[in-house]
């Protein structure tokens, strides 16, 4: 198994088709990400070239507490249903965290997950932010992660010294992510 990283627009058609099939297992009818979020696909490939697990990293600048931060988050994390329970998803999520950290261009990693998946993401190196709500959508049409019917947990990692010093300001807060209308809450 090997991990491959590629900007979403550069994906060869055969990989794109496999990724879309995996994503349809979890979220039928999804589509491509907003190019403004600079989507990067992270894939776990089997020796035969089959995609066993996939996720996307989306990135943008956010303002929180009056300060600007370069933020990235995980989106569309999926493992092929035929290959679940083998650690592929955890391996890929941990590799994505390291990829973001090693790039040096991101202050903070932020995303939400369903509450039952909190332990999974923690086992891959992410930390839950207690009481924190991500606000997606746009400022004119907000899409908060604490909306009725959602049971989301905000996960984070603080990659730069500046972000690590400010980490407490992200707990029990509402963070304006505002990724837009396409990726309402990455």
What the chain holds in terms of domains, given with CATH numbers, is 2-176 (3.40.630.30)
3-state SS class at 132: coil
**Structure pTM?**
0.95
Rounded to an integer, what distance in angstroms lies between the CA atom of residue 161 and that of residue 102?
Answer: 14
Please give the backbone phi and psi of residue 26, each rounded to the nearest 5 degrees, phi first: -100, -40
Residues contacting 136, CB < 8 A, separation 6+: 142, 143, 144, 145, 177, 178, 179, 183, 184, 185, 186
Per-residue pLDDT of the chain (186 residues; tens, 9 = 90+): 999 999 999 999 999 999 999 999 888 877 889 999 999 999 999 999 999 999 999 999 999 999 999 999 999 999 999 999 999 999 999 999 999 999 889 999 999 999 999 999 999 999 999 999 999 999 999 999 999 999 999 999 999 999 999 999 999 999 999 999 999 888
């Amino acid at each position: 198994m090997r991990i491959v990283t590629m900007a979403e627009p550069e994906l060869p058609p055969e990989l794109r088709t496999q990724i879309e099939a995996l994503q349809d297992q979890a979220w039928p009818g999804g589509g491509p990400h907003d190019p403004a979020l600079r989507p990067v696909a992270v894939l776990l490939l089997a020796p035969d070239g089959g995609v066993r697990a996939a996720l996307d990293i989306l990135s943008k600048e956010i303002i929180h507490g009056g300060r600007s931060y370069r933020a990235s988050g995980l989106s569309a994390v999926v493992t092929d249903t035929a290959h679940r329970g083998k650690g592929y998803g955890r391996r890929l999520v941990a590799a994505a965290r390291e990829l973001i950290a090693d790039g040096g261009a991101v202050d903070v990693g932020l995303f939400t997950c369903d509450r039952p998946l909190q332990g999974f993401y923690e086992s891959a190196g992410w930390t839950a932010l207690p009481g924190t709500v991500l606000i997606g959508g746009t400022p004119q049409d907000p899409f908060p992660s604490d909306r009725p019917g959602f049971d989301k947990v905000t996960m984070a990692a603080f990659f730069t010294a500046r972000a690590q010093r400010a980490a407490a300001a992200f707990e029990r807060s509402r963070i304006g992510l505002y990724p837009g209308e396409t990726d309402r809450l990455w």
